[in-house]
Amino acid sequence: DTAVSQTPKYLVTQMGNDKSIKCEQNLGHDTMYWYKQDSKKFLKIMFSYNNKELIINETVPNRFSPKSPDKAHLNLHINSLELGDSAVYFCASSQDREGWVNTEAFFGQGTRLTVV
Amino acid sequence: QKEVEQNSGPLSVPEGAIASLNCTYSDRGSQSFFWYRQYSGKSPELIMSIYSNGDKEDGRFTAQLNKASQYVSLLIRDSQPSDSATYLCAVNNFNKFYFGSGTKLNVKP
């Protein structure tokens, strides 16, 4: 029973297209995230949502728009795709502890986006 | 300055040896600290979490935290070829996990 699942696993698309990645967690966690992992394997936070509310937006271009219809889902829509958007995108979730501290983050399997 | 710094490696150790991985972080307000392992083409998976100064042991793994020095380390005893992977240090505060760029570990049979 997958804890954090994201679809699709692979996405190949042309420059200028619009695409979406979906993420769902069945752990009952309060916080969900989107991370981008580039070719050098650096994991960079993009967005953080807590109970459907946007908490963190780490200077991501506004072509990237996250949407959280409920606490268990966090989707990522990308407009006007560019070559530099090619990367692996990971969804993750964690449980809140007191004082804005989180338990460990659990990751989805990743979506490898290739823009051609 | 990056929030979390790690030596990218690769770190090569023989099978059965101790592998020592290190990480420093910049935000003194960071509250919790994690080590993840990532195999090529896979997602990061948690190995250890540590929240207070000192050592925490779990099987062959020991995490060490020194908040005064802003330093986190991971020791892997009796290293196995299956431990060969990239190890990511992560620091958490205010609904953010900042990751280091990872240290690639090679355990040679």
* pLDDT at residue A12, rounded to an integer: 97
Q: Which residues of A58-87 are buried (b: 16+ CB within 10 A; e: fewer)?
A: eebeeebebebeebbbbbbebeebeeebbb
* pLDDT at residue A99, rounded to an integer: 60
Q: Is the CB of residue A21 less than 8 Å from the CB of residue A75?
A: yes
Q: Is the CB of residue B32 less than 8 Å from the CB of residue B51?
A: yes
* pLDDT at residue A58, rounded to an integer: 82
Residue-wise pLDDT for B31-69, tens only, equals 899 999 999 999 999 999 999 999 999 999 999 999 999
For the record, the structure tokens of B91 come out as: 């620091």
Q: Considering only CA atoms, which of B94, B84, B92, B75 is closest in space to residue B4?
A: B92
Residue-wise pLDDT for A43-54, tens only, equals 999 999 988 888
Nearest to A104 among B34, B43, B94 (CB): B34
Q: Tell me: pLDDT of B94 over 90.
A: no
Nearest to B98 among A45, A100, A106 (CB): A45
Residue-wise pLDDT for B1-28, tens only, equals 678 999 888 999 999 999 999 999 999 8
Which segments in chain A show pLDDT lower than 50?
none
Interface test with B, best of A7, A32, A33, A41 (most B CBs within 10 A): A41
Instruction: Find residue A62's DSSP bridge partners.
Output: none
* Cβ–Cβ below 8 Å for B32 and A48: no
